[in-house]
Amino acid sequence: MHVLSLSQLVFGVTQVVISDEMPLDDAETVMEQSGMQPPLIIKPVWTDGREGSHGLAVVHDMPSFSKLLRGSIESSVKPPVVIQEFVEHGGVLFKVGAACGAG
């Protein structure tokens, strides 16, 4: 049996999806219930190359999170969004994607 060391484990990050129809109060409640704490990475749900799909916002406090969702902060990132808690990764990052071919 092969035993993995901690340096060989793969970790996923906690994430929350905020829809474009979700009221701000509900989004704040979802975030509170998730237990995630800043810094937060906020990315568009869409990754298909449309305008803004490669946007990224880093939020360092919850008031800034609320301002971003309200549109009070100038950003190309707008709901629907995926919110992830920043995880220190020592500068190593693997991005994994999936592609499906037409039938």
Question: Residue 10: which pLDDT band, with cuts at 50, 70 and 90?
Answer: low
pTM: 0.71
Residues 38 and 60 sit within 8 Å (Cβ to Cβ): yes
| pLDDT over 70 at 7, yes or no | no
What is the extent of the structural domain holding 53?
12-85
Higher per-residue pLDDT: 50 or 99: 50
The reply to whether 75 falls in a domain is: yes
Number of compact structural domains in the chain? 1
Cβ contacts of 48 within 8 Å, gap of 6 or more = none
Q: Is the peptide bond before 80 cis (omega within 30 degrees of 0)?
A: yes
Helix (H, G, I), strand (E, B) or coil at 57: strand
**Mean pLDDT within 88-97:** 70
* CATH number of the domain that residue 28 is part of: 3.30.470.20
pLDDT tens across 15-74, in order? 999 999 999 999 999 999 999 989 999 999 987 877 877 888 999 999 998 898 888 888
Higher per-residue pLDDT: 26 or 7: 26
The reply to whether 36 falls in a domain is: yes
The reply to whether 3 falls in a domain is: no
The reply to whether 95 falls in a domain is: no
Q: Given this model, what pLDDT does residue 19 score?
A: 93
The reply to whether 103 falls in a domain is: no
CA gap 90, 11 in Å, rounded: 13
